[in-house]
Amino acid sequence: MCISERLKQVCEAKNWKIKDFSEQTGIAYRTLQGYIGGEREPNAEGMAGIAKAGVNLNWLVSGEGEMFQIATQEIAMSEQEEKLLTNYRTMPENLKDAFSISFKEISEKQ
């Protein structure tokens, strides 16, 4: 499978028209149309725009890995969250299991 076919898959997965994809990437409509139509390959600037839309460039080029990048954000823990985690880590395994079940039940009821 080639880059143009994978770009088509991205559009299908996100339910994007070329115009939508163009807006997400910052790539000109006609340029992106050429990439998707297989008339040309993305250059470095094109690849950067495609990555900006959340596409995993390794997958785009090789077909390996996930189609989209996994967003990883570092979120600061509050003091209360840190205390909960510290206490959780000192619990015996059977108590950790009980808390896990309880938290799951609580979160599903919200």
Name the residue range of residue 43's domain. Answer: 3-62
Indicate which CATH number applies to the domain containing 14.
Answer: 1.10.260.40
15 and 47 fall within a common domain: yes
Express each pLDDT in 44-66 by its tens digit. Answer: 999 999 999 999 999 999 999 99
**Is residue 11 one of the residues assigned to a domain?**
yes
Contacts of 53 (CB under 8 A, 6+ apart): 10, 21, 24, 25
**Is residue 51 one of the residues assigned to a domain?**
yes
57 and 28 fall within a common domain: yes
Express each pLDDT in 4-53 by its tens digit. Answer: 999 999 999 999 999 999 999 999 999 999 999 999 999 999 999 999 99
* The total number of structural domains that make up the chain: 2
55 and 84 fall within a common domain: no
Cα Rg for the chain, rounded, in angstroms?
21
**Is residue 21 one of the residues assigned to a domain?**
yes
* pTM for this entry: 0.63
2: nearest Cα among 46, 39, 28: 39
83 and 58 fall within a common domain: no
Cα separations (Å) of 62 from 7, 10, 36, 67, 81?
12, 14, 16, 11, 40
32: nearest Cα among 6, 58, 7: 7
Contacts of 68 (CB under 8 A, 6+ apart): 13, 54, 55, 56
